[in-house]
Amino acid sequence: MNAILAMIGRRLLMGLLTLFVISVVIFGATELLPGDLARELLGQSATEETLAALREQLGLNDPAPVRYWNWLTGVLQGDLGVSMATKKPISELVGTRLENTMFLALYAAAMSVPLSLMLGVLAALWRNSIFDRASNSLALTAISFPEFFVAYILILWLSQSGFFPSMVRITPATTFGDMLYMCFLPALTLTLVVTAHMMRMTRAAIINLLASPYIEMARLKGMAPLRVVLRHAVPNALAPIINVVALNLAYLITGVVVVEVVFVYPGLGQLMVDAVTNRDVPVVQAIALIFAAAYVLLNLIADVLSTISNPRLMHQR
């Protein structure tokens, strides 16, 4: 038990270190500009006074390490700074949108993970059959589709015929059931995009194991093929499967940006795209940090889970 705790502790420390480096990169990216941010944002024609005012507002007069320190301590206390475009505190803008985005990502995950695991196991079980080949080609096709293509096909198909709404409008009065109904199309889009990859990896992980001697043993003693896969192959393939699931959940985080724009979904991605259009640097930095943190956290969880699922890694001598 102590070994697990120590391992989790080490991974946590590594995760924190990664987050720290990411925050430096996200903050330091503005330093790459040849001039300074104020001149870049206002253009060449800006007068000295307006430049000075913007520098004052952005706090550009302090040296970079001081600004970074102020920003970081602010973020750690939940103060993400002030938006340049709307002059509102960023935490206020982000609050409910973060919840909406999390809801959408979780919704998509709840649909895609069981679906892709099932399809992957079946494809491995019936490998080289028509089902396997068809699902493999379909998966490759789905991986290659841009998210907005999938989204618009679904709108054309399921929203034109009046089954589901093509836009998401969330008010405080919206109930959980309504949310599930309204978010079905965006969540389905995300599901289709990530399922293909997860399914292919699940299939590959299981097929890799099917050549092992213990699988042959199980077969020779007359076990049913499905039972061989479920009892002997899947538990040993758990580590790569967990990793690919986490990777795809992390992918959901970025896929969410495009899908939110298509469905006018009030989430973080939409906010970020608006902020990039307005070149609202503090907002973009804050959201980038949130997305990156979620990404690191997911990878961390996957790392810990896949170690726990593998007895050989658990009981290292």
Which of 18/309 has CB closer to other proteins? 18
Q: How far apart are CA 9 and CA 149, in angstroms?
A: 43
CB of 127 to other proteins, least distance (A): 7
Which of 202/280 has CB closer to other proteins? 280
Total binding residues toward other proteins, as defined by CB under 8 A: 56
CB-based contact 185:155 (threshold 8 Å): yes
CB of 272 to other proteins, least distance (A): 6
CB of 315 to other proteins, least distance (A): 28
CB of 20 to other proteins, least distance (A): 9
Q: How far apart are CA 178 and CA 168, in angstroms?
A: 10
Q: How far apart are CA 255 and CA 251, in angstroms?
A: 6
Please choose, out of 5-13, 94-102, 232-240, 283-291, the segment that lies near other proteins by the rule CB under 8 A: 283-291
Which of 148/214 has CB closer to other proteins? 148
CB of 291 to other proteins, least distance (A): 5
Indicate whether 128 belongs to the interface with other proteins (CB under 8 A).
yes
Binding to other proteins in span 285-314, by CB under 8 A: 285, 287-288, 291-292, 295-296, 299
Q: How far apart are CA 60 and CA 101, in angstroms?
A: 32
Kindly write out the interface string for residues 161-200 of this chain, putting x where it contacts other proteins by CB under 8 A and - elsewhere.
-----x----------------------------------
Q: How far apart are CA 22 and CA 297, in angstroms?
A: 13
Which of 140/314 has CB closer to other proteins? 140
Q: How far apart are CA 222 and CA 132, in angstroms?
A: 24
Of 246, 250, 247, 242, residue with least CA distance to 205: 242
CB-based contact 275:85 (threshold 8 Å): yes
Kindly write out the interface string for residues 26-65 of this chain, putting x where it contacts other proteins by CB under 8 A and - elsewhere.
x--xx-xx---x--x-------------------------
CB-based contact 147:257 (threshold 8 Å): no
CB of 288 to other proteins, least distance (A): 5
Indicate whether 263 belongs to the interface with other proteins (CB under 8 A).
no
Residues at the contact surface with other proteins, assessed by CB under 8 A:
18, 21-22, 25-26, 29-30, 32-33, 37, 40, 127-128, 137, 140-141, 143-149, 152-153, 155-157, 160, 166, 207, 250-251, 253-254, 257-258, 261-262, 272-273, 275-277, 279-281, 284-285, 287-288, 291-292, 295-296, 299
